Chain A
Amino acid sequence: MGSNASIMLQQEDLQNICQQTGFTVKQVQRLYSRFKALDKRDCGYLTREDLQCIPEVNINPLGERLIDVIMDDYGEHNKINFKQFIFLLAKFRQGKFKSLITEYNTRESKLRFLFDMYDRNHDLKIDRSELLDVLKMMVGGNIHDDQIATIADHTIGELDKDGDRSITFEEFCKTLERIDADEKMSMKFLS
């Protein structure tokens, strides 16, 4: 599989990718084979349906939203090719040591991703409706909207420092000071 993958991937591309994202060659190749496995129609890009085929993504409460984010922010026209795929995943590399941090997997970019999961209209603010959407997805359909609304209001009340009833990126990051977002949002990429 490894040799196959490397043939498909141009050598210079590979080097480029490794340099920019900080992945090792092996990791890139492994991810490439994963990409090919997901790409059932073998057309060089992934579509929404391909991602939805993954069973765990389907049952995950935030699966839909994640696919939205991936497709809108990282792919174009409902397609994502391998380069975009790997740049997306590069965000989640561990940034434990200085040497491993590239411009992609800084703590800020990880938090930014999370912020984007909320903020679908890209106005750099999370307002009540967006928060409500995410809450509904996570909490499930049997909780009444009233209760969810109260939770959302409460959350906004906690985080909103400037009183505009919406959460900016800075306020969002403030919450995550205590939580070690960097570690939680990292993946160990097998090579």
Chain B
Amino acid sequence: MPNRPFFDNLGTILLLAIVNTLFNTICIGLTLWGFSHTSLYGGTHFGMLPCFVFAALISAVDPVAVLATFTEIHVNDMLYIVVFGESLLNDAVSVVLYRMFDSFAKIGQENLIASDIILGCLSFFVVSLGGVLIGIIFGVVACFTTKFTEHTPVLEPLIILVYAYLAYLTSEMVSVSGILAITFCGMVMKQYVSFNISKKSDATTEYVLKMLSSIMETIIFMFMGLSTVSDHHSWNTGFVLITLLSCLLFRVIGIAIFANLANCWRLLELTRIDMLIMSYGGLRGAIAFALALILDETKIPRKKEFVTATIAVVFFTVFVQGITIGPLVKCLNVRRKQIEEPTMSAKLTNRMMDHVMTCLEEISGSGGSNSLRDKCRNLDRNYFKRWLLRETPQEKMDIKLLQTFKKINMQSAMKVHDTSKGLVPAPSSSAIHTSVSGSNLRPESTFANFSQLLAANLPEQTVPDLMFFESQGAEQYRDDAQMHHFLDTNLYRARPRAAIHLRSQDETAGSGEANNRFEKSYHHRNHIYIPSRMDKEQTHGRKSGKTGSSGMTRSGASKTALATQAHDNTHSPRHSASSVPKQQHTKGKSVSPIPHKKKQEEQSQEQLGKTRSKSPTLSTDQPLKPPLPANEVHQPSPPISIRIDDEETDVAMGGATAAERICPWRRSSVPDASRSTSASPVNDPSNSVQASSSNVTDPHIHPGPLTSAGFSGSYNKSSEYMGEYATTTKPEEHLQRPHIRDLFANQSRIPDEKQENDTDTVSDDSTTHL
């Protein structure tokens, strides 16, 4: 049930549910009773109160029948929700009226006093509000319970079912409206529980409930059919006909009156066609039948006629009206439900319009549904979400927007996956190109990289081959999940990784670039690497003074980078490296490194590295932290780690010249400085010394990192890397993704790490080769 249209149209729905039902009941009751004085009924006499009892049970629109019919015809949401909402909420009225007239009949017409009627009216409020209250209470308790079921996901569907049923039972026990209780319990649960429970529980609940509801609906109608043929009926033609006609007639009249009344305040008016569909869609169903069956024959002598008439009406409305409403909708060109792909732009614009209209309504002083909705939303966010949700959403975060985004990305990722799977035997970049560009997810340059990545690496690298090889086996599903996860994380990472390599290498190393990008992406699926990435990033930026590239993109991530830079800058005087601040602050084109300056730089870099080993944690912790307490399941986590990435892609894209700028830096053996900075201070001197040697050969080292076995030795060297690693990584990150790690096996991991160090800092390569 769509929540938002429900609350938008709540006024109309309530009006129809309550007043219309009342109106129908009274009119039908009076008509039936009136006609009993004539000879149309063949002489049988119907008392007034029994007529009213019957009218009460027959005038209520049945939610089951409406649901079954309207979901087939796919009318627009507003129309659907008005009819469906009416059928749900009129339960209160019909229950009250039924009970009221039934007890009046029991008391006997002669004994009625005025206070009975007044109490009857009051009981309406008790019944409806009590039902709503009980439903909300149980909903809230369920939400609160699911807050703590993190470790017992198996209980979650059970909790939902049990609490909903409890709500119903409790309200029936105290004689309030059970349907209202369940409705509001469900509404409350939908808002909060779906965020709390695991995805599997969510899916389970959905399907179990769908199955149960199908079963129940079938049973109800089957029961009706059986009792039709087996019961003793008392067919009174006149009565049945009059009942039928008056039901139809008064429904049309009632809708006409009240819909026009509602149009006075409605923004979106109900047209005549809407009204026709609404009256035509007022189907009676099993509730009426059940109520008829439980009538007390001693008090209401005409029970058999009532039952027969009820069956007749139900059959007529369900069969005739239910079947013809579809063609009628088509014929009258009623606005149908839009089933569309969730597009970011649509969601975005929707949100924007909401905000704008709320604001404008406030300014112009005419409060509308927008401002009310906004107030509710604020209340919700400030109080309810804090108490009831497992992890509270961050301020102002627009969950729906991100969910849409996530969904779209998943779809695209799976598309790429599906095509890439077919590439295992014979990788063809063209296949990926077409599929990827077709999905039009991001700038073409990004995909170009990614497809190049896969294409270039599939035949060469052992790592990806392993993965696809595995998929041939029985672990299809696991591989799917892994691939999915890989794509999920790497769709983003692929771009930035490329940037880093482009910058840190010679552009002549063509295939090497692709390789490195690929490896980088594999590396950086772990958040851990990012801090160090940023470190080196910063170093690069500072060292080469690539104003162009750094100034180019650097929105969010760069700000953080700059912030840490600034942070470091403040520390630099402490380290009394006079050249350092100068170097740092000069964002101009990199000066060709002068040897003596280099040494100083290296030193300062080391020192800076010391400080920076702290600061990155501060700054990069920020991106890392949110994923962990991520409110929305996993949505923020992959993207957040990408933080830096986007910028760098752009840098890379436009940064062809940046590479030029970086190259001098690189060749001038400053890399060791950067290497040292990233490393913990301890080993810096040794590294820096070593690093100076093998700059030039760097680009050529990269193409074969994964395949060369010589890295095992150099792995020991990465202790400093591990040291840095230790300061900036979160152990949980490791644990979270064991499957992918296994995927790429330890042999790749080690060289990967080496690679990680290598690409940014030549020193590791140098150590390897030394």
Chain A residues proximal to chain B, CB less than 8 Å: 30-31, 34, 37-38, 51, 54, 56-57, 59-63, 66, 70, 89, 92, 94, 96, 113-114, 117, 132, 134-135, 138-151, 153-155, 157-159, 175-176, 178-179, 181, 183-190
Contact = CB atoms under 8 A, between A and B. Distances in A.
A51 B294 CA distance: 63
Which 3 residue pairs across A and B have the least CB separation, nearest first?
A: A145-B556, A140-B396, A34-B365
A56 to B, nearest CB: 4
A51 B362 CA distance: 10
A140 B557 contact: no
A146 B443 CA distance: 15
24 contacts: A57-B359, A59-B378, A61-B396, A139-B396, A139-B402, A140-B398, A143-B636, A146-B557, A146-B639, A147-B640, A148-B556, A149-B647, A150-B492, A150-B639, A154-B408, A157-B441, A175-B346, A176-B349, A181-B349, A181-B353, A184-B353, A185-B353, A185-B357, A186-B267
Given A147-B640, A183-B267, 12 more contacts: A89-B364, A92-B360, A140-B395, A141-B396, A142-B395, A146-B492, A147-B402, A151-B344, A151-B401, A157-B443, A158-B440, A175-B346
B371 interface: yes
B364 A187 contact: yes
Given A155-B344, A175-B349, A56 B357 contact: no
Contacts of B343: 158, 175
B358 A56 contact: yes
A161 to B, nearest CB: 11
B352 A134 contact: yes
A56 B405 contact: no
Contacts of B408: 154
B3 interface: no
Contact of A147 (B267, B358, B394, B642): B642
Interface string B60-81: 0000000000000000000000
Nearest to A30: B365
B344 A158 contact: yes
Contacts of A135: 348
Nearest to B644: A146
Given A60-B355, A155-B348, A188-B368, A145 B443 contact: no
A71 to B, nearest CB: 12
B363 A57 contact: yes
B269 interface: yes
Q: Which of B265, B340, B356, B358 has the most CB of A within 10 A?
A: B356
A187 B365 contact: no
Interface in B698-713: none
A140 B442 CA distance: 23
B489 to A, nearest CB: 13
Contacts of B441: 154, 157
Contacts of A70: 363
A147 B397 contact: no
B366 A146 contact: no
Given A158-B343, A184-B353, A145 B626 contact: no
Given A60-B355, A155-B345, A145 B557 contact: yes
B364 A189 contact: yes
Interface residues of B, number: 62
A189 B708 CA distance: 75
B351 interface: yes
Contacts of B358: 56, 60
Indicate the member of B358, B365, B371, B640 with the most A CB atoms within 10 Å. Answer: B365
Main secondary structure on B side of the interface with A: helix
Given A143-B397, A155-B348, A179-B350, A66 B267 contact: no
B418 interface: no
A149 B646 contact: yes
Contacts of B267: 94, 183, 186, 188
A159 B646 CA distance: 20
A136 to B, nearest CB: 9
A9 to B, nearest CB: 16
A66 B356 contact: yes
Interface string B509-547: 000000000000000000000000000000000000000
B356 A117 contact: yes
B361 interface: yes
B684 interface: no
Contacts of B442: 150, 153-154, 157
B374 interface: yes
B378 to A, nearest CB: 7
A189 to B, nearest CB: 6
A149 B365 contact: no
Interface in B252-288: 265, 267-269
Interface string B368-407: 1001001000100000000000000011111001100100
A114 B356 contact: yes
B642 A142 contact: no
Contacts of A158: 343-345, 440
A113 to B, nearest CB: 8
A142 B345 contact: no
Contacts of B681: none
B643 interface: yes
B230 interface: no
A142 B626 contact: yes
Contact of A144 (B338, B371, B623): B623
Contacts of B397: 139-140, 142-143
B559 interface: yes
A65 B362 CA distance: 15
A66 to B, nearest CB: 5
B645 A146 contact: yes
Nearest to A70: B363
Given A140-B394, A141-B395, A146-B646, A56 B359 contact: yes
Contacts of B647: 146, 149
B555 interface: yes
A62 B355 contact: yes
B363 A51 contact: yes
Contacts of A59: 378
B639 A114 contact: no
A145 B559 CA distance: 10
B365 A144 contact: no
Contacts of B340: 178
A146 B642 contact: yes
B409 to A, nearest CB: 8
Contacts of A141: 395-396
A30 B366 CA distance: 10
Nearest to A143: B397
Contacts of B359: 56-57, 60, 62-63, 66
B643 A62 contact: no
Interface string B431-455: 0000000001111000000000000
A62 B349 CA distance: 12
Contacts of B401: 138-139, 151
Contacts of A145: 555-557, 559, 643, 646
B361 to A, nearest CB: 6
A31 B581 CA distance: 60
Contacts of A38: 363
